[in-house]
Amino acid sequence: MNLLIDVGNNYVKWAAVDSAHWDGGHRAVISGVPSNLFETCWGHLPAPNRIMVSNVQGERIAPDLVKWCQGYWRVCPIFLEPASAAYGIVNSYYDPEQLGPDRWAALIGARTLSNDALGIIDCGTAITVDALSADNVFLGGAILPGLNLARDTLSTSTSGINEGESRLVSVLGRSTADCVSSGVYYGLAGGIDRLVNEIEKTLVQHLRLYVTGGDAARLQPLLKMQTQLEPDLVLRGLSAALNRL
């Protein structure tokens, strides 16, 4: 069994995988003592053969994760590191190492699903929209705030907006909380639509679009373009990368 771990800004997600079974869909809030979090998440699992990790938190969590995995299982995790070219994909970032490992993993995962030119929309703490050409070049992308970040910014940075219970009822909200939800949900969905439209105009080609991330299921129904929901895209990219080592 291999263990795939996606350490995000607020959540850790994971899947336990062998040749015949994918056990995914797991996540936990990142809080408290790291060793206690790891024990809660994986203490019940048998020792994996290998562990592959996407970690956007860098040194804030990597040393604790290495220490726990080695102490508990005697297995050292492998951290996915963006490169100028790896796993069949060329990275066109000016500084390839600046690309987030989660975005790199999502590109690798998306390529396992289709050979077309692709757009990857990752709806997490931040929303990223990335383009991958049919000949496996990551062409770049765009970043905008995610649902919670946009909503929290309104609540904490303006006077008179104290959301209370936030829910998306209609594009025409009838309470301040509902107006904030309407603006954030529809505004971000519209922003994603516009970004994809501009990217396709720039590339002069249509993109097959995948939507992933913790808020994907909430935003996807509001998008105008045709998309495919792939909740475990980062983890599937980790699996593909691990299989090529």
Question: CATH code at 51?
Answer: 3.30.420.40
Supply the pLDDT for residue 142: 97
Residues 9 and 53 in one domain: yes
Residue 193, domain extent: 85-147+178-243
Residues 102 and 196 in one domain: yes
102: annotated active-site residue: yes
Give the 3-state secondary structure of residue 186: helix
Do 36 and 126 fall within a single domain?
no
- As a whole number of angstroms, the distance between CA 149 and CA 180 comes to 12
Residues 138 and 37 in one domain: no
Do 137 and 109 share a structural domain? yes
Tell which of 59, 79, 99 closes a domain: 79
Domain match, 73 and 89 both? no
Regions in the chain scoring below 70 on pLDDT: 155-167, 169
Q: Are residues 34 and 90 in the same domain?
A: no
Residue among 38, 39, 12 nearest 26 (CA): 12
Q: What are the CB-based long-range contacts (under 8 Å, 24+) for 15-19? A: 15/232, 15/235, 15/239, 16/45, 16/48, 17/239
Residue 94 lies in a domain: yes
Please give the backbone phi and psi of residue 224, each rounded to the nearest 5 degrees, phi first: -80, -35
212 and 122 within one domain: yes
What integer pLDDT is reported at residue 165 of this predicted model? 54
Q: Please report whether residue 215 resides in a domain.
A: yes
Residue 26 within a domain: yes
Surface-to-core class of residue 43, CB atoms within 10 Å of its CB (0-12 exposed, 13-18 middle, 19+ buried): exposed
Retrieve residue 3's tokens. Answer: 């263990």
User: Which of 56, 79, 102 corresponds to the end of one domain?
Assistant: 79
* Token pair 């040749």 in the structure block, residue: 19
Is 155 domain-assigned?
no
Residue 53 covered by a domain:
yes
Q: Are residues 45 and 91 in the same domain?
A: no
Same domain membership, residue 133 and residue 65: no
Contact indicator for 17, 26 with CB cutoff of 8 Å: no
| Domain-located, residue 166 | no
Domain count for the chain: 2
Q: What pLDDT score does 152 carry?
A: 79
Classify residue 172: in a domain, yes or no.
Answer: no
pLDDT at 180: 85
212 and 136, same structural domain? yes
Last residue of a domain, one of 64, 79, 94: 79
Do 16 and 127 lie in one domain? The reply is no
Is residue 41 within 8 Å of residue 26, measured between CB atoms? yes
- Which of 18, 76, 9, 65 lies closest to 41 in space, CA to CA? 65
Query: Which residue among the candidates 102, 130, 178, 232 is catalytic per the annotation?
Result: 102
pLDDT score of 167: 67
